[in-house]
Amino acid sequence: MYIPDEFKEVRTEEIFKIKQDYPLASIIAHTSQGLLACHIPLIWKNPQCLLGHMALLNEMNHLLADHQEVLCIFQGANAYISANYYPSKQIDHQKVPTWNYQAVHVYGRLVFLHDDKSKIAALGQLTKQREQRAHGDQAWKMSDAPKDYLAQRLTELSVFEITVDRVLAKSKLSQNRSQIDFDNVVQELQQRGEDALAESMLALPSHNQNAS
């Protein structure tokens, strides 16, 4: 991933937030049949290990071997930025549109887990994380499903872990613009309802320093 210095994301808490808020990852790997891409929600088992599951019929099960390298791409908030958002455009007109976004690339080695205990643990962690965020005390639990139904579904699933080798992250959030242009981009995004991206811009250390 091309990352100019001003867009390099090094804040551990921000990288984690992107992966937590946008867990649906694109998993990319090279196989005997060429490049393979799958879209699968991933959660953190621990700081160095991702956990996921998929349908047993997913071709990823048959084309990937244990310990094969994969790339997991987490795409955060993003939006089109019009050149009209820059007040400085009125001075020299030397401005063009762009796209603001956040992305995290995680490189690691994938290993399949075949036992029911691992499957139940993986499903339980994913369900607990996402259900509590969405529904709080009214969260759905695995125990809500009949045991025989759940047992049947487990036979149709595959679970895997990805041990993390390295992480690259990018926050392209108008850091290369003047303060007046930056502030107006934030206002335009807020007016468009792109609140998540606007909040990420406002959380930049450089913005906080300028604001103080």
- Mean of all residue pLDDT scores within the chain: 92
CA 192 to chain centre: 22
Strand order of the β-sheet with 34-41 is 34-41, 24-31, 68-81, 98-113, 157-172, 49-55, 43-46
| 172 beta partners | 101
Strand ranges, E, within the chain? 24-31, 34-41, 43-46, 49-55, 68-81, 98-113, 157-172
pLDDT tier for residue 134 given thresholds of 50, 70 and 90? confident
What phi-psi label fits residue 139: left (phi over 0), alpha (psi between -120 and 50 degrees) or beta?
beta
pLDDT tens readout for residues 26-74: 999 999 999 999 999 999 888 899 999 999 999 999 999 999 999 999 9
Q: What is the pLDDT of residue 103?
A: 99
Q: Residue for token digits 């450089």?
A: 206
Q: What is the pLDDT of residue 212?
A: 43
Domain 5-84+99-176 in CATH 2.30.110.10? The answer is yes
Q: Residue for token digits 């047993």?
A: 56
pLDDT tens readout for residues 162-198: 999 999 999 999 999 999 999 999 999 999 999 999 9
pLDDT tier for residue 145 given thresholds of 50, 70 and 90? confident
Q: Could you give the CA distance from residue 128 to residue 50 in angstroms, rounded to a whole number?
A: 16
Residues 6+ apart with CB under 8 A from 12: none
- Examine the pLDDT at 123 and tell me if it is beyond 90: no
Q: What is the pLDDT of residue 74?
A: 98
Q: What is the pLDDT of residue 93?
A: 79
- Examine the pLDDT at 210 and tell me if it is beyond 60: no
Question: Phi first, then psi: what are they for 92, rounded to 5°?
Answer: -125, -10
Domain boundary assignment for the chain: 5-84+99-176
Q: What is the pLDDT of residue 124?
A: 87
pLDDT tier for residue 4 given thresholds of 50, 70 and 90? very high
pLDDT tier for residue 141 given thresholds of 50, 70 and 90? confident
Q: What is the pLDDT of residue 168?
A: 98
- Examine the pLDDT at 125 and tell me if it is beyond 90: no
Q: What is the three-class DSSP state of 204?
A: coil
| Segment 141-166 mean pLDDT | 92
Q: What is the pLDDT of residue 133?
A: 84
